Chains A and B, each alone.
Chain A
Amino acid sequence: MSESNPTDPTNLEQRIQDAIKNPKNLGEMEGADAVGTVGSADCGDMLRMWVKFTEKDGKKVIDKATFQTFGCETAIAVASVATELVAGKTVEEALSMSGQDLSAPLGALPPMKIHCAQLVEGALRSALSPEGTEPQAEAPKAAPLSPSLFDQLNAGTEGKVKIILDK
């Protein structure tokens, strides 16, 4: 509907904000046929996707896909648009989509956010792998990173130390 320039970073930011204000297909799916996960909630960069199949014209197609993520807002936005894109596609068609394809409705992602789309691609591949739950392709991981602000934010969510009350 918008005629704005898809490569304009201001428009990208707006589209991401729009997507996370009203995310589609968010949350665990009861009775899913397949589930795929990449990353780990412990390190903050987890994305899980549930998929339900249906029959259409004699072919098995994706009826619905949902997601849950503790990644950043770009990951939420990409997952939201990606779950809409894959609905109605066969497994082969969905597996042929790259992270760039899956995030296309948001426009071109800047280099620093491409990893978010790869995270979504990895979760989808994990869910659609022949075994159903075994990862077929992990989202690419970079070399070990310094602790991020997100790591600091989550460092208090697990009890790892004793609390000694002062007198």
Chain B
Amino acid sequence: MSTIHPNLTMRELLEISPGAQRALFRRYHIGGCSSCGFRPDETLQQVCERNENLPVDEVVAYIEASHEEDLKIQIAPGDLNELLKSGQSLKLIDIRTREEFETAPLPGAELFTQEMMQESLMKWDRAGLIVFFDHQGRRSMDAAAYFIGHGFSNVKSLRGGIDAWSQEVDSSVPRYRLEA
């Protein structure tokens, strides 16, 4: 029996299924930015109703399958390395802080900026390969889903982030941790 039901608040839903927000944006353009966002105390049913009466059962089924969808977005560090060595054309986008970007760089990567955000939506090839990465591969999943939800068809997130890259591909890239 499904643990996801229409009367869950969005807060409860995201606790049960952290990938739900990515799934909602990929398919229904919900939760990507504040224009299409939702409140934590809204129920899934309410969010569906105010978004053109989306069929909530279909939405629940899609969220339940979202883990599989998340896996499809990911690219393993070794696979990315092979692509880079083969000369495959791609955009490698680092969404970490500038300090992290400079401390543990991945050669060929560009640091994500607000200006890049604007340029990307207007000028980038929506069929081109884009690989996002962060420290450990969490926020980069959200970044990839955001771009998929905007019609980019070939977007990946580096599984495990730069930390996995350091362990699996290039140990000269320093590993680090973050402290508040």
Q: A159-B98, A163-B99 are in contact. Are A45 and B179 (CB under 8 A)?
A: no
- CB <8 Å contact, B33 and A149: yes
Q: Decide if A161 touches B178 in the complex (CB within 8 Å).
A: yes
Q: How does the 8 Å CB contact mask read for A2-17 relative to B, with 1 for contact and 0 for none?
A: 0000000000000001
Which A-chain residue is minimally distant from B29 (CB atoms)? Answer: A112
Provide the B67-105 mask, 1 if CB < 8 A to any CB of A, else 0: 000000000000000000000000000011111100100
* A162 and B146 form a contact (CB under 8 A): no
Q: Assess whether A164 is in contact with B36, with CB atoms less than 8 Å apart.
A: no
Interface residues of B in 108-150 (CB under 8 A from A): 112-114, 117-118, 121-123, 134, 139, 142-143, 145-146, 149-150
With A146-B14, A153-B95, A159-B97 as known contacts, state yes or no: A75 contacts B35, CB within 8 Å.
yes
Confirm or deny: B62 has a beta carbon within 8 angstroms of a beta carbon on chain A.
Answer: no
Judged by a CB distance under 8 angstroms, whether B55 is at the interface is no
Cα distance A155–B32 when bound, in Å?
14
Do residues A163 and B178 form an inter-chain contact, with CB atoms below 8 A? Answer: yes
Q: With both chains docked as a complex, state the minimum distance between the C-beta of A108 and any C-beta of chain B, in angstroms.
A: 12
Contact of B122 among A23, A142, A150, A159 (CB under 8 A): A23
Report B-chain residues with C-beta under 8 Å of the C-beta of A146. 10-11, 14, 21, 31, 37-40
Give the size category of A's interface with B.
35 or more
Complex Cα distance, B34 from A112, in Å, reads: 10
Find the B residue at minimum CB distance from A68.
Answer: B118
Q: How large is the interface on B (under 10, 10 to 19, 20 to 34, 35 or more residues)?
A: 35 or more
- Given known contacts A112-B52, A146-B10, A152-B139, is B35 in contact with A166 (CB within 8 Å)? no
Contact between B139 and A156, CB atoms less than 8 A apart: yes
Contacts of B39 in A (CB 8 A): 142-146
With CB as the reference atom, state the residue of chain A lying closest to B147.
A153
Question: B residues within 8 A CB of A73?
Answer: 121-122, 150
Residues of A within 8 A of B98 (CB): 157, 159
* Residues from chain A with Cβ under 8 Å of B35 in the complex: 45, 71-72, 74-75, 112-113, 115-116, 119
In the complex, the answer to whether B100 meets A160 with C-beta atoms within 8 Å is no
Which listed residue, A26, A71, A112, A165, touches B174 by the CB 8 Å rule?
A165
Query: What B residues does A119 contact at CB under 8 A?
Result: 35
Query: Are B52 and A150 in contact (CB-based, < 8 A)?
Result: no
- Chain B 8-49 residues near chain A, CB threshold 8 A: 10-11, 14, 21-22, 25, 29-40
Most A CB contacts (10 A, CB to CB) among B34, B97, B176 go to: B34
Q: Is the CB of A148 within 8 A of B99?
A: no
**Chain B, Cβ-Cβ closest to A19:** B122
Residue of B nearest to A161 (CB): B178
Can you list 14 A-B pairs, Cβ within 8 angstroms, ordered by A? A21-B123, A23-B122, A71-B33, A72-B150, A73-B122, A75-B35, A112-B51, A144-B40, A149-B143, A152-B142, A156-B97, A157-B98, A158-B97, A165-B176
